[in-house]
Amino acid sequence: MTLTKWAASPPSRTARGVLTGVGHLGQAVPRVRRAWLYWLGCAAFALVLALTTGLGPHRVWGTCAAAGYGAAALLAAPSGRVWRRAAAPVALLGAVLVPLALLVASGAAQSEVGVVERSGDLLLHTGSPYLPDPHRTVEYNPYLPGMALFGVPRALLGDNPLADARVWFCLTFLICMFFAARRTAESGRTLSVLAGFPAVALPLAVGGVDLPVVGLMCLGLALAGRRGSGTAAGVAMGAAAALKWTAWPLLPVGLVLLAVTAGRRAALRAAVAALSVAAFAVLPIALADPHAFLEHVVLFPLGEGGLRSPATSPLPGRLLAEHVPGGAALATTALAAAATGMTASLLIRPPRTVRTAANRLALGLTIAICLIPATRFGYLVLPLVLAGWFRYTAQTTDSAAPAPAGLPPCPAPKQSSCWPVWCRTSHGSWGCPSVRRAR
């Protein structure tokens, strides 16, 4: 089937479209003219952070990012097409590459970077990334054993700038997101816009451990939606599950999606691959010292360890635990109820597209992050990236399914018929009368 001359224009390739999905089917006018407002808003956020934060790395990021976003806003203002296309790379340069280089050179980073690099050193020298008897908060390692691999380069190469864990966080995230996208002429630009978004650029520069996790999660979901054998999707999902507990909700969602798109055998192969990878990374260390594993990875993140977790953002779970008698138990019960509801939704109405699966997973993660007693606002980058990335990159694949075989072609409408749509809409309904009769 072909487009009529009244058909809507393709999705816009704008910064705002990538992150909010405004470039949807049926949008007739690309929002290029508004891109400068988006970058200006990013510049304002970065400047406010630089002026108000008490954290040195965040202040460096805010200063550099404000300049980069400001330059991108100038380039994105109504001008030549070449200048507008340069806005996203300039924002990426100012918000990620420059602050990352400055912070790596100075050795300034947020505490998570030191935790990961210390755990890599411990893994090489003791066989376990967990101290048996931690006495300070910075001595806790709340991540699963796979995360320690990002700290191994520092243990091997010493003070070499390339050994910094942030470099490997960044590379893992960008590589995973590149392969998670359908590789087209716009893939690189789409990725540069995502990486330049403040909620992503800030942890890329200062050292956010959640970005390699969400990168592998996006890769696993994307592979699950491509109707393959399931093995590659399972390996990606298992690798994410070996890094943090927050990646484990990906497994049921990804496996259900794979069962719908590629069949039960593919889902079974993916499940075996995912569990094998996760078990290979986690079980040997967990069984070698169960007490240390339980203290670091289970009790401490839940706020029940020997020391209080520094993850104390005022989200509902934290507020319940602090201000309501028995609030921690209430938050845990609510979390279990939410998990049961999400599981039921997968069985009753399984996701049939990558974008639907990503939205379902993002919703579940958002609820979980809000209800966990020890939590941070920064964890919300996981559902943000999942929902924003697939809302944009999965549009063409979700909406471009082939027409059923044997249906007659849709005739070109007359001028008076006022049909400015495709024969098949983005919702899967068939607008052509001849198609409706055939159905």
Let me know whether 58 and 133 are in one domain. no
The secondary structure of residue 296, as a DSSP letter, is I
Considering 91, 108, 125, which residue would you say is the last residue of a domain? 108
Let me know whether 101 and 46 are in one domain. yes
- pLDDT value at position 194? 82
Let me know whether 273 and 304 are in one domain. yes
- pLDDT value at position 184? 56
Name the CA dihedral angle for 31, 35, 37, 40, rounded to a multiple of 10 degrees: 170
Residue 307 vs residues 27, 135, 140, 300: alpha-carbon distances, Å: 53, 8, 9, 7
Considering 88, 108, 128, which residue would you say is the last residue of a domain? 108
Side chain identity at 91, as an amino acid letter? A
- pLDDT value at position 427? 41
Domain that includes residue 35, residue range: 11-108
How many distinct structural domains can be found in the chain?
Answer: 2
Q: Residue 197 in 3-state DSSP?
A: coil
Q: How many helices (H) and strands (E) does the chain have?
A: 22, 0
In a domain, 133, yes or no: yes
Let me know whether 77 and 115 are in one domain. no
- pLDDT value at position 225? 85
- pLDDT value at position 281? 93
The token duo for 213 is 């996790």
Q: How far is it, in rounded angstroms, from Cα 427 to Cα 423?
A: 11
Let me know whether 159 and 74 are in one domain. no
Considering 68, 92, 108, which residue would you say is the last residue of a domain? 108
In a domain, 96, yes or no: yes
- pLDDT value at position 187? 63
- pLDDT value at position 294? 92
- pLDDT value at position 330? 86
Let me know whether 136 and 219 are in one domain. yes
Q: How far is it, in rounded angstroms, from Cα 85 to Cα 291?
A: 54
In a domain, 159, yes or no: yes
Let me know whether 59 and 195 are in one domain. no
Low-confidence ranges of the chain (pLDDT < 70): 1-33, 78-82, 182-188, 394-439
Let me know whether 242 and 295 are in one domain. yes
- pLDDT value at position 48? 94
pTM, entire model: 0.79
Nearest Cα to 394, choosing from 124, 180, 210, 233? 180
Let me know whether 174 and 116 are in one domain. yes
Summarize pLDDT for 193-219 with one digit per residue, the tens.
Answer: 788 889 899 999 998 899 999 999 999
